[in-house]
Amino acid sequence: MPIPIKGYRIFIASPGDLDEEQKILRETIENLNKQKYINQEVLFIPVSHRDVAGGSGRAQSLINSKLEECEFLFGMFYIRFGSRPGSESEFDSGTEEEILKALAYLKDPDKKNMINVAVFFKNVPPSQMDDPGDELKKVLDFREKIKEKIFYKEFDNIDDFKNEIIIQIDKFYENTKEIRTPKRQGIRYIATEEEANSSKEKV
């Protein structure tokens, strides 16, 4: 008999200097799905700009359309801030745009998919902080900009990062327990009218 799996998409937002961390994040999500969440009838699906097919129009707009479908965002920074997504863009990088849009989706009643956003910063060697350069300055400024608005965490190395992934995906899983009705048509579980009314009464 088929298992009624509820799928939740995690958008991975990161510049190009964290390729190893992006790979580890995807692998860890896959392992957690197999070891834990599939038994709870939940599946986390990693998504990033690499999963967006080319098309007409602004490339970042196509990525944002994919982001809009996701329930979670997992952001990462190290030294690079990323490339400006267009000469007329108000954002300094595609990653910045994705994270700030995800935060806006959390507050926008018309953009109802997004449930939670978390951003991680890989610690930079102290010697580099003495002369950070333009890219790292933007990363540091962005961290200051969002630190009161969003959960963020720092990590030192790969082992540290793996532990943080497990902790954060567990938090995402706890968030899914609170969501019993779909906020838009997609791949999430569709609750019965009785369940939906019960959920409203608890709010």
Average pLDDT over residues 51-62: 75
Does the pLDDT of residue 187 top 70, yes or no? no
Task: Decide if pLDDT at 67 tops 70.
Answer: yes
The yes-or-no verdict on residue 194 having pLDDT over 60 is no
Mean pLDDT, the chain, integer: 85
Q: Would you give the DSSP letter of residue 181?
A: S
Confidence of residue 57 (pLDDT cuts 50, 70, 90): low
Q: Which segments of the chain are extended strands (E)?
A: 6-13, 42-47, 72-77, 116-122, 151-155
Lowest mean pLDDT among 28-37, 44-53, 175-184: 175-184
Confidence of residue 54 (pLDDT cuts 50, 70, 90): low
CATH topology of domain 6-202: Rossmann fold (3.40.50)
**Between vectors from CA 182 to CA 32 and to CA 64, what angle results, nearest 5°?**
75
| Strands across the sheet containing 116-122 | 42-47, 6-13, 72-77, 116-122, 151-155
Query: For the chain, first and last CA: distance in Å?
Result: 34
Q: What is the pTM of this model?
A: 0.83
The arithmetic mean of pLDDT across residues 52-80, rounded, is: 87
What ranges do the domains of the chain cover? 6-202
